[in-house]
Amino acid sequence: MERPNTSDINMPKKILIVDDEVYIRELLTLQILESIDCEISEAENGLVAFELCKTNQFNLILCDYKMPIMDGLTFISSLKTQDNLNEITPIIVISSFVDSAKKAEFNFKNIQFMEKPIPMEVLTKKIASIIA
- Asked whether residue 4 is assigned to any structural domain, the reply reads no
- Asked whether residue 130 is assigned to any structural domain, the reply reads no
- Asked whether residue 24 is assigned to any structural domain, the reply reads yes
Strand partners of residue 113: 93
Q: Which residues span the domain enclosing 34?
A: 13-125
Mean pLDDT of the chain: 86
* Whole-angstrom distance, CA of residue 97 vs CA of residue 111: 16
- Asked whether residue 100 is assigned to any structural domain, the reply reads yes
Number of domains in the chain: 1
- Asked whether residue 2 is assigned to any structural domain, the reply reads no
- Number of Cβ within 10 Å of residue 107's Cβ equals 9
At 106 the pLDDT is: 63
Check whether 105 has a pLDDT greater than 50. yes
pTM of the model: 0.86
**Tens-place pLDDT, residues 8-67:** 566 889 999 999 999 999 999 999 999 899 999 999 999 999 999 999 999 999 999 889
Instruction: State residue 53 phi and psi, 5-degree precision.
Output: -70, -15
Q: Which residue has the higher pLDDT, 30 or 6?
A: 30
- Asked whether residue 1 is assigned to any structural domain, the reply reads no
**Tens-place pLDDT, residues 66-92:** 899 999 889 999 998 898 899 999 999
At 107 the pLDDT is: 65
Compute the half-sphere exposure of residue 64: CA atoms within 13 Å on the CB side of its CA.
26
At 91 the pLDDT is: 95
CATH of residue 104's domain is: 3.40.50.2300
